[in-house]
Amino acid sequence: MSGFSCRPIPRARKQVPRGTKSLAGPNAEALEEMLSRLVTRMRQGGSPWAANGADAWTSDDNDAIPAGYTYLAQLVAHDFVENTAQLPLISTFPGKLQRDYRTQRLVLDTLYGGGPVREPTTYALSTDGSATRCLFRLGHVRGHEQPPFEPVKPPLLAQPARDLPRAAYPFLTDVAGPRATPDVLIADVRNDQHLIISQLTALFLELHNIVFATVRRVQDAPTADQIRDLNLPQRDHYVTDAAFLTAQAETAFLQIRKVMAFVYRRVVVHDLLKRLLEPGVWAYYTDPARRFPADLMEPMHDNQVPVAFSHSVFRFGHVMARFSYRLNDQLEVNPSIKDIIDRSSAHRSDLLPLASNWLIDWSHFFDLGDGKFINASRRISPSVAFGPLSFEAAVPAEMNRDGGLFFRDFVRGAEAQVSSVADMVVKLRTGERERSDLLKDASYREQEVGRWLTFGPDVGFKPGELVELSKNPPLLLFVLLEAAHDQAGKRLGILGSTLVADVFFGALAQTAGVIEQDPAVPALVRLVFGTEVPSAMPQVIKFMKAKGGLADVVFDPTAPNA
């Protein structure tokens, strides 16, 4: 799931607004116009199934999935796929170059990158005498926002370190004029595309630091059993104290990576996926009797994420994004998506360091049981409403408008030649197809897609387009339609769930040998968490707070910055 700010490649064949992404080929323009009208239909909203009996809904709010999971899914997407650009055109970089440089998935590479040796600016300087950086850098917040580019006096230590680490380098060649803090010091800069994803990333960076402190304390005075079970370095094996300290730090870092991955994967399976997937599909893939890759519908080839996942299906999360959120109890007005996007190094670095009253109170994004208002995600359905993510698609009559995120999603899928819905349905297990009328009956599926296309105001589809879209809808569109039709938009349907689960559980199986099956990991996890190992985001957040993390900030608009 890409961030809100990704921009496509401009067209070359005719004058169009900057930001429009195009297809190639003799029928490209006709296809683009059809897809643009499809986005217009999605903007109209409304569903012929919204009034279906007990599953009727009158609001796009999805209380079954708090809004925090929208952005947890985005972080996970970054942990799956890493490109040199935001999902470049397949034809631009043929072969592996256009796909994915990520070789290990669901082990938090999006946070750790190449580690302290390859990416030292991501990690804090060592203070324990070792030669290894083991803690993540974090950024302190300031008391209040100032006018643009007004200098902030260092050091900024009055408030907790709750933001991503950011910097401005005054001696480089690209610092003409005021630049505030334009560089974010993290392994994957996509995790600073907007305020919510950056705050979620900062949460996991701080969790690493909390876990490190626990493991490091044990290393200082380990028992004989701990030296054996945790494979800890022993002092008499090293000539100097400095070498021993370095060995301790390096061991702790690698162990903590595994602990973090272990907990993160539990959260992904038992919290995120359990909410997103159709219950029967989730039960199938989490059954201990499953053997992967043998029990996958379509195993990954050459360790590459299928384009059906990266360029189509997993982009369903874009419809879950709201256009404004309650971030905390200090801001008087719920900020808009634009406000949220602005507060990142890539967009409005002059609004950074982050002000304390823009910190996210996670009680508003995950159910922590404290009775606070929780932002709901939007239902998973082919309804995107009007807003900054869904500007009218760029047909010739609308050349002054941006193509919109959803239009670009369809273009990416078409350009990547994602498999058809019919082809994907055929690959499903027979028992799964039989559980859904949409999947077992092609005529009924065509009828229901057509009902949605013609529901509400006319958006100008040509007769041939209605026939084509009804018979062969884009895979992403069908995944959204299936969720609305079969699940009232509360979760994915059977096909969408299977396509997502296949990729997730295939990736989990590929790296299980170094995480879940490492004999030292269970002992490490018990050491850190005791008997209460988190398997959901609320448990992670409560654990961090119990350890002094996610420190409260007292907002004082008159307080100085430093």
Q: Give whole-number Cα distances, 244 to 97, 212, 291, in Å.
A: 41, 17, 42
Average pLDDT over residues 316-338: 93
d(CA 88, CA 311): 10
d(CA 133, CA 130): 8
Report the pLDDT value the prediction gives residue 269, as an integer from 0 to 100: 98
> What is the SS3 assignment for 560?
coil
Q: What predicted TM-score, i.e. pTM, was given to this entire model?
A: 0.89
Neighbouring CB atoms inside 10 A of 533's CB total 16
**pLDDT above 60 (res 399):** no
Q: Which residue has the higher pLDDT, 464 or 88?
A: 464
Q: How confident is the model at residue 395 (pLDDT cuts 50, 70, 90)?
A: low
**pLDDT above 90 (res 105):** no
Average pLDDT over residues 225-230: 78
Q: Considering the chain, what is the average pLDDT of its residues?
A: 84
H helix runs in 420-532, sequence order: 421-427, 430-434, 437-440, 442-453, 463-471, 475-487, 494-511, 520-529
Report the pLDDT value the prediction gives residue 506, as an integer from 0 to 100: 93
> What is the share, in percent, of the chain residues with pLDDT greater than 90?
51
Report the pLDDT value the prediction gives residue 19, as an integer from 0 to 100: 37
d(CA 279, CA 265): 19
Q: Which residue has the higher pLDDT, 190 or 251?
A: 190
Cα angle value 425/502/540 (rounded, 5°): 135
Q: Which residue has the higher pLDDT, 262 or 254?
A: 262
Which residues have a Cβ under 8 Å from the Cβ of 412 and sit 6 or more positions away? 21, 87, 311, 312, 315
Report the pLDDT value the prediction gives residue 335, as an integer from 0 to 100: 94
> What is the share, in percent, of the chain residues with pLDDT greater than 70?
83
Per residue in 16-61, pLDDT (tens digit) is 333 334 455 557 888 888 998 899 899 888 889 987 776 788 889 9
Report the pLDDT value the prediction gives residue 21, as an integer from 0 to 100: 45
> What is the SS3 assignment for 123?
strand
Which residues, listed in sequence order, are joined to residue 376 by a DSSP beta bridge?
66
Report the pLDDT value the prediction gives residue 361, as an integer from 0 to 100: 96
Q: Which of 2-16, 103-117, 345-359, 529-543 has the lowest mean pLDDT?
A: 2-16
Per residue in 409-442, pLDDT (tens digit) is 898 888 888 999 999 999 999 899 999 999 999 9
Q: How confident is the model at residue 1 (pLDDT cuts 50, 70, 90)?
A: very low
Per residue in 520-544, pLDDT (tens digit) is 898 899 989 999 999 999 999 999 9
Report the pLDDT value the prediction gives residue 9, as an integer from 0 to 100: 30
**pLDDT above 80 (res 3):** no
Please state whether beta strands 139-140 and 61-66 pair in parallel, antiparallel, or not at all (unpaired): unpaired
Q: Which of 28-37, 383-392, 553-562 has the lowest mean pLDDT?
A: 553-562
Give the highest mean pLDDT range of 81-90, 371-380, 512-521. 371-380
Q: Which residue has the higher pLDDT, 391 or 87?
A: 391
Sign of the dihedral defined by the CA atoms of residues 164, 170, 175, 180, in that order:
positive
Report the pLDDT value the prediction gives residue 20, as an integer from 0 to 100: 39
Closest C-alpha among 318, 320, 317, 311 to residue 475: 311
Report the pLDDT value the prediction gives residue 225, as an integer from 0 to 100: 80
Q: How confident is the model at residue 175 (pLDDT cuts 50, 70, 90)?
A: low
> What is the SS3 assignment for 56?
coil
